Amino acid sequence: MINIKEDKSLNILNHSCAHLMAQAIKRLYPEAKFWVGPVIDTGFYYDVDLGEKAIKEEDLPNVEREMKKISKDGKRIIREEVSKKEALEMFKDDEYKIDLINNMEEDSDITCYRQGEFVDLCRGPHVDTVKQIKNFKLLKVSGAYFKGDSKNKVMQRIYGVCFETPEDLTTYLDFLEEAKKRDHKKLGKELGLFMMSEYGPGFPFFLNNGMILRNELENFWYDEHTKEGYEFIKTPIMLNKDLWELSGHWYNYRENMYTSEIDEKTFAIKPMNCPGGMLVYKNSLHSYKDLPLRVGELGLVHRHEASGALNGLFRVRTFTQDDAHIFMMPSQIEQEVVRLIDFIDRMYSVFGLTYNIELSTRPEAKFIGNIEIWDKAEKVLADACHKAGRDCKINPGDGAFYGPKLDFHIKDSLGRVWQCGTIQLDMNLPERFDLTYVDSDGIKKRPVMLHRVIYGSIERFIGILIEHYAGAFPTWLAPVQVNVIPVNCNYHLEYASEVYNYLKENGIRTELDEREEKLGYKLRESVTKKIPISIIIGDKEKEEDLVSYRRYGSDKTYSVSKTMFVELLKNEIKDKRSKSKDSE
């Protein structure tokens, strides 16, 4: 996927296109007033105030037509420098531009760009003439708060995108189409993975196929974590309010927490697993010899997210974090983080996901602890990142109030980026819960704690995988791995059943299609359901004691013995391979 903001010439072109759009809107809606029209990763937008009127989705073609007209006219785009006073005079009827100008420094050079009758306050640069702005598309309209503050009024935001060639535009629009086809909400329904209900907005129901996928992910997670020396716990969903006061959540996260009253006591459903994890740590005495102590929990949390934030499996109100808390001596942080980065790398590579790491540092205002410790902690994370052979981009001020963190941004098969894994240093909870370990000198000392997730949330990760694989999961994850299709049920059902039972006995998730339909019909359904392997059983297979199979997405057929087929498949599943090895 392209990033328009980071491509210099595309950036300029898109910004000029935003001006062109504004000019067209001004022609069609003379009362329109404009706020800002920046370039974003996926194109540009412009925030517009149309007073009582509104531009609707169906009006966009009209605006596009006007834009084409202006583009054809081919006016030059002229840069003008004005003083602040002149600028205020020029835009005296436009409270938005006045707001912008007033926020500029007294002696700064203010530039405007003029094209025909339209002039806009802008830093530039722009393309030379509007003629160069040809291959664009307006994509959507939405509301957006003035200055991004939910206390302010809502303006209309109109999104578009522009390219240098018509081919590039088509490619991008095709990409959007492809992304739409992969929508996990659509595929989740079609493939019987999960459902939603009006009775539980934001609370997904997992169906049988979704559960198989989910269990595979969880099993994989447990296996890998066991190898990494983790131990596992399960802490309660609901705990007394007093605990949340102690952890600080009651004050910092109260409005997103579900609560329940019973026996005149308040209980809160956990929005995070850490406080429960703290109690487990405190349950026993810890020696420095036992550190780092790695404690994992697939923890079900509930968070009351704003209704408008909900989005399929990507944003839900209940989800399972693949959480773990690691308790260490301060001297162990770097080594442990390096180890974690390697671990996360191994987990992601199984799915064919690449990623970038970002370091989020101390927030400007709201943070606990002293700055020295923060600086040190940030340095440890950055060093660990480099030691692990990875670059990390700094994300200033984006850390949690209790510590800095490394965020893993994964890239899917369409090049889209998702935030999943995170490693967070916590300088708060060990203090609040008075955690200790006994050091070699017999003195109780404060451990350092790390929170970390790899999938992030299993629900969200499943959503990402659905879109990443377009619903065609690799064999190890596929709800149904093999579909056995007899060519003619009267003659081939017996041998087909034999093959089916043999696969079942070998732990392969298999279906037998014994309906009396034509092969083409049953095969089509196999493909529609995105089953990785379809086995066809007819006279030839029956006589020679073979299975013939083809894979999803290919029309090549291979014939092998039953035993060879099972061997091949078992290895493929064991290795969690995405690509098949059929050629031999």
Q: Residues interacting with RNA, by CB under 7 A? A: 54, 56-57, 140-145, 148-150, 154, 156-157, 183, 185, 189, 196, 198, 201-202, 249, 252-253, 271-272, 305-312, 315, 363, 366, 400-402, 487-490, 516-521, 523-524, 527-528, 536, 538-542, 548, 550, 553, 555, 557
Query: Closest separation between CB of residue 483 and RNA, Å?
Result: 12
Query: In the complex with RNA, which residue's Cβ is closer, 116 or 363?
Result: 363
Phi, psi (5° rounding) for residue 429?
-60, -40
Question: Of 26, 126, 302, 325, which one is the catalytic site residue?
Answer: 325
Query: Closest separation between CB of residue 508 and RNA, Å?
Result: 19
Here the tokens at position 446 are 């404060």
Which residue is it, tokens 């791995």?
A: 481
Question: Of 47, 323, 407, 412, which one is the catalytic site residue?
Answer: 323
Question: Of 97, 157, 451, 492, which one is the catalytic site residue?
Answer: 451
Query: In the complex with RNA, which residue's Cβ is closer, 134 or 542?
Result: 542
CA distances from 86 to 77, 101, 120, 121, 536 (A): 20, 10, 13, 12, 79
Residue 259: beta bridge partners?
268
> If 0-12 CB within 10 Å is exposed, 13-18 middle and 19+ buried, where does residue 237 land?
middle
Query: Closest separation between CB of residue 100 and RNA, Å?
Result: 17
321 counts as catalytic: yes
Question: Of 15, 182, 303, 339, which one is the catalytic site residue?
Answer: 303
Helix (H) or strand (E) holding 410: strand 405-411
- State the DSSP code for 123: -
Query: Closest separation between CB of residue 38 and RNA, Å?
Result: 11
> If 0-12 CB within 10 Å is exposed, 13-18 middle and 19+ buried, where does residue 169 land?
middle
Query: Closest separation between CB of residue 408 and RNA, Å?
Result: 14
Query: In the complex with RNA, which residue's Cβ is closer, 45 or 163?
Result: 45
53 counts as catalytic: no
Question: Of 122, 274, 385, 420, which one is the catalytic site residue?
Answer: 274
Instruction: Please state, in angstroms and rounded to a whole number, the distance separating the CA atoms of residues 427 and 328.
Output: 12
Query: In the complex with RNA, which residue's Cβ is closer, 132 or 360?
Result: 360
Instruction: Please state, in angstroms and rounded to a whole number, the distance separating the CA atoms of residues 9 and 122.
Output: 17
Phi, psi (5° rounding) for residue 137?
-150, 130
Query: Closest separation between CB of residue 112 and RNA, Å?
Result: 26
Query: Closest separation between CB of residue 159 and RNA, Å?
Result: 7
Pairing of strands 482-486, 533-537: parallel
302 counts as catalytic: no
Strand order, beta sheet including 259-262: 238-240, 265-269, 259-262
162 counts as catalytic: no
323 counts as catalytic: yes
**What sign for the dihedral angle of Cα 373, 376, 380, 386?**
positive
Letter string b/e over residues 12-47, b meaning 16 or more CB atoms within 10 A of that residue's CB: bbbbbbbbbbbbbbbbebeebbbbebebeebbbbbb
Phi, psi (5° rounding) for residue 129?
-135, 155
Query: In the complex with RNA, which residue's Cβ is closer, 167 or 516?
Result: 516
Residues 7 and 34 sit within 8 Å (Cβ to Cβ): no
304 counts as catalytic: no
Q: What residue spans of 353-404 are helical by DSSP H?
A: 371-387
Query: In the complex with RNA, which residue's Cβ is closer, 26 or 249?
Result: 249
Helix (H) or strand (E) holding 214: helix 208-227
Query: In the complex with RNA, which residue's Cβ is closer, 298 or 487?
Result: 487
Q: In 3D, which of 12, 289, 234, 222 has the Cα closest to residue 132?
A: 12
Here the tokens at position 281 are 């740590």
Query: In the complex with RNA, which residue's Cβ is closer, 383 or 517?
Result: 517
445 counts as catalytic: no
Helix (H) or strand (E) holding 267: strand 265-269
Query: In the complex with RNA, which residue's Cβ is closer, 183 or 228?
Result: 183
Instruction: Please state, in angstroms and rounded to a whole number, the distance separating the CA atoms of residues 337 and 31.
Output: 57
Instruction: Please state, in angstroms and rounded to a whole number, the distance separating the CA atoms of residues 143 and 155.
Output: 6
Q: In 3D, which of 456, 465, 354 has the Cα closest to residue 405?
A: 456
Query: In the complex with RNA, which residue's Cβ is closer, 226 or 252?
Result: 252
Query: Closest separation between CB of residue 45 and RNA, Å?
Result: 8
Query: Closest separation between CB of residue 215 and RNA, Å?
Result: 24
Query: Closest separation between CB of residue 399 and RNA, Å?
Result: 8
DSSP per-residue codes, 160-228: EEEESSHHHHHHHHHHHHHHHHT-HHHHHHHTT-EE--TTSTT-PEE-HHHHHHHHHHHHHHHHHHHHT
Phi, psi (5° rounding) for residue 5?
-65, -35
Residues assigned a catalytic role: 274, 303, 321, 323, 325, 405, 451
